[in-house]
Amino acid sequence: MISFFIIIYLLITLGIGFWASKRIKTSNDFTLAGKNLSTSFVAITLFATWFGSSQIMGNPGYFIKDGFSSYVTLILSGSICLFIVGWFYARKLYRMNLVTINDFFRIRYNKKLELTSSILMILAYPHWIAAQFVALAYLFNAVIGIPIEYGIFLGALIVVFYTYIGGMWAVAYTDMVQSIMILLGLNIVLIEVLSKTGGILPIFENKPTEFFYLVPTGGIDEWSDYIALLLAFIIGAIPVQEIYQRVFSAKSERSARNGLFLGAILLVIITSIPLIIGLGGVYLYPELLKDGNNQDIIPSLVNTMTSIPIQILFYGALISAILSTSSGAMLAPATVIGENLIKPYANKISDKRLLLYTRLSVILVALASCYFAYDDTDIIRLVEASLSLILVCLFAPFTFGLFWKKANTHGAWAAIIIGGLTWLFCYIFNSRIDPTIYGTIMSCTSMLLGSMLSFKKAKLKNDALLNIK
């Protein structure tokens, strides 16, 4: 019965995507929804894109084990990132009339840096998307009994079709429907759990004092992981394309900024619900922790203690979360491929042909994502890996280039090369301190020194862009 309703829900979702696809006439419609998204649509698509498999299947396990220190790294970090982008980045970038942030690298630096940043951006996304494919595979395995390896392929096939036909318009409309499903499904499960635990207080009563600390209580290894996660989810997410794809799709600068702020609030409130559900679940059924797979706690809980109608709503919410994240994450690198790797180098390419190539890029991204999904099935680590490369290579030239007049091409190359090589070297030799920390420090330092040492010889390009207020 649950399988039947899941199939019906998937068909409805795909139907909405197909209906929305009728609004796509140009490549701009496909990538930026014709720059017509309101504040609410911007907020919902931002929330839906970042509320995915890790929030429902990954985060609860970490919260149960690590307590409120993981709440800071896994929940608050994403909202902090959106607030930072809203306050400091959105206004300047929206006024530049960009399609991707890699356009900024071309305008601020040169075409070679646009090309390099585009390749790095594309390489980072398959890990993120792979995390969603893994989550769909776990879902299909729990509900229908499909083996994980086949579930990954099936999930990829569904998401590819859904993204290919609809583009940003389909993402926006289906995200709105899916967000309603997420809220409805999670809140019903939350009420069911709290009614059996006797409220929220009992599930926290016997926790050790360390559970409530906002920072790690262990040694250097725990602090290293803590700082690395904060860097990845706050700073590393600042230059990612899926944020600015929604910012640039807004109908006005005000809609873009307010959408970021509202999305940040939604992210904090709604992502806290699965944590409470998971904690209440192991309070009622401690055996849920015994199999060692903390990513399966909430689905196992729902199967154990809820009725069929509630299970249908929950799995509808879970599917919604994964599909919305997958489609948004898949559209971002496909847009970069079309706008920054194909369009500048294809002589007099028509808009119709560009739209086709961007759609085909969705398939290419999906194939790469499947490879990583089969290679690593830890959802949180897949997401962290996707942000590390962007953090150690692109954050410094992106941020310094936007806010510092002396930033130049020499500094940008130094940040990308030295930051990336430092991260790779530390990763290969398994440094005790997380490689992301070393890479970020070296990238920012190289950006500063490289720009300062070459300042007298370098000519600042497009200086007027930096005077935008």
pLDDT digits (tens, 9 = 90+) for 326-371: 888 888 899 999 999 999 888 888 888 998 999 899 999 999 888 8
- Cα 59 to its chain centre, rounded Å, is 14
User: For residue 379, is it within any domain?
Assistant: yes
Identity at 166, one-letter amino acid code: G
Mean pLDDT of 131-151: 79
Per-residue model confidence (pLDDT) at position 79: 94
Per-residue model confidence (pLDDT) at position 460: 47
Per-residue model confidence (pLDDT) at position 239: 92
User: For residue 11, is it within any domain?
Assistant: yes
Report residue 207: phi and psi, to 5°.
-80, 145
CB 434 within 8 A of CB 228: yes
Identity at 434, one-letter amino acid code: D
User: For residue 397, is it within any domain?
Assistant: no
Per-residue model confidence (pLDDT) at position 90: 94
* 37 three-state secondary structure: strand
**Is the pLDDT score of 19 beyond 50?**
yes
Which pLDDT tens digit goes with each residue over 214-231? Answer: 998 878 888 998 998 899
Per-residue model confidence (pLDDT) at position 376: 58
Per-residue model confidence (pLDDT) at position 177: 79
Per-residue model confidence (pLDDT) at position 385: 59
Who wins on pLDDT, 455 or 139?
139
User: For residue 290, is it within any domain?
Assistant: yes
**Is the pLDDT score of 81 beyond 90?**
yes
User: For residue 31, is it within any domain?
Assistant: yes
By residue count, the chain amounts to 469
User: For residue 409, is it within any domain?
Assistant: no
Per-residue model confidence (pLDDT) at position 103: 95
For the chain, what is the mean pLDDT? 85
For residue 192, give the CATH number of its domain.
1.20.1730.10
Q: At what angle do helices 308-336 and 241-249 cross, to 10 degrees?
A: 90
Structure tokens at 469: 């207020």
Per-residue model confidence (pLDDT) at position 50: 82
Q: The tokens 């055996």 sit on which residue?
A: 287
Which pLDDT tens digit goes with each residue over 58-75? Answer: 788 888 888 899 999 988
Which pLDDT tens digit goes with each residue over 422-465? Answer: 998 998 888 989 999 999 999 999 999 999 987 655 454 545 45
Which pLDDT tens digit goes with each residue over 367-412? Answer: 988 887 877 555 555 555 556 888 999 999 999 999 999 999 999 9
Q: The tokens 């039947």 sit on which residue?
A: 4
**Residue 372: domain span:** 2-385
pLDDT band at 247 (very low <50, low <70, confident <90, very high): very high
Mean pLDDT of 110-118: 94
Structure tokens at 87: 């306050």
For the chain, the domain total comes to 1
User: For residue 374, is it within any domain?
Assistant: yes
User: For residue 294, is it within any domain?
Assistant: yes
CB 43 within 8 A of CB 262: yes
